[in-house]
Amino acid sequence: MSTEKHSKETVLAHGLGHMDEQHLGVIPGIFPSTTYERSADNSYPNGKIYTRDHNPNYEQPEQVLAALEKGEEAMLFSSGMSASISVFMSLKPGDHAIIPKVIYWSFRNWLLTFAKDWGIETTFVENGNIDAVKAAVRPGKTKLLWLETPANPTWEIEDISAWANIAKEADAVLAVDNTIATPLLCNPLELGADIVMHSATKYLNGHSDVLAGALVCKTKNAQWDKIRSIRASGGAVLGPFEAWLLMRGMRTLSVRVNQASSNALSFARAFEQHPLVEEVLYPGLESFKGHELAKKQMQGGFGGMLSIRIKGGEQAAIDVAANLQLIKRATSLGGVESLVEHRASVEGEGTPCPDDLLRISIGIESADDLIADFSQALTHINK
């Protein structure tokens, strides 16, 4: 299937046209074999040696994701964390990286805890402050700029093109976590990024039943080859069934993201002026600080993630979450069901997250039902 001729929605629905060629099934099968036979001349005619490096079930989601992100190649990983860490592991001891302060908390913790042990130096800068990024560059040492936009869980928008210009001047790589926007709403490689990361557990899978990650490169090079070697040697790969489930989820990505984005905008507007709400953090609101930049970078919507700061502080926010009846209190995001979490409690000491903040992953339910559920939960404050 030609990706130039067809829309992203069609590419997803048809999975780039992959089929079960032996039986003519419209869906490819599951290939559980861990190893592959050599031919009589001692070669591997299909190019596959061992499932830690190759498996037929990796190929379709990798090719579809590369097409969606408009990159040269994609790689699946066992999780978003393993995908992210592999990029940093491809650096050399003494190399320097620049990262915004607000990013996915587990990865921020890894950087604070383990990156130094690998000999990687890191500088964290204020989100949305491009001058701070420029000032943090160490000529000859800065080799990686890493950003997440929108930034979890306060959803600041970073100017990808501006970061890309700084990376280019520093002869560094720009990697962008595109989990929240998804390739339907933003394509960082077109804005100058070199690598895109996805926690495929989230929107790409979309059903809260697969742990997976992915990287996409703009151009294959020596660093990309090193990342591939890190993945293979560390065994940070999916099982074939999980890869198959991931592809099944990806087929409905456009439907789910469009519905979640529409629901999130309606939800954000419903509580923007609520007397018990301190602030609604959602890039789709005109009142949001990064709204204009989000409009420029994100096409077709602003995603399904938002946060609401509750008047009355931490306990009030926890009380609201406790009284939700439809929205589930659980970690993660991007599934068909809506989830809520008091992030400061999860992140613990050192979190940059306000203690009155509830992070909400809006699903594909009726927006009216979600709004009604949150409205009734707000009535329990101070009861």
Residues with a catalytic annotation lie at: 52, 104, 177, 202
Separation between Cα atoms, residue 309 and residue 318, nearest integer Å: 11
- ∠ CA 63-69-75, nearest 5°, is 45
Residue by residue, DSSP assigns 114-160 as TGGGGT-EEEEE-TT-HHHHHHH--TTTEEEEEEESSPTTT-----H
Who's near 299: CB < 8 A, 6+ residues apart?
185, 186
The tokens describing 157, both together, are 């928008």
Instruction: Give the CA dihedral 165, 171, 177, 182, nearest 10 degrees.
Output: 60
What is the token pair recorded at 205? 């899978």
Amino acid identity of residue 200, one-letter, is: A
Straight-line distance from the first to the last Cα atom of the chain, in angstroms, rounded to the nearest whole number? 59
**Nearest CA-CA partner of 83 in 192, 246, 207, 241:** 246
Taking alpha carbons only, the member of 214, 178, 183, 200 closest to residue 246 is 200
Q: What is the Cα–Cα distance from 270 to 55, expressed in whole angstroms?
A: 47
Helix 367-378 and helix 253-271: axis angle, to 10°? 40
Residues 6+ apart with CB under 8 A from 39: 45
Helix count and strand count (H, E) for the chain: 14, 12
For 25, 28, 113, 193, the CA distances from 91, given in Å and listed in that order, are 43, 37, 17, 17
Instruction: For 137-287, list the strands marked E by DSSP.
Output: 142-148, 173-177, 195-198, 213-217, 277-281
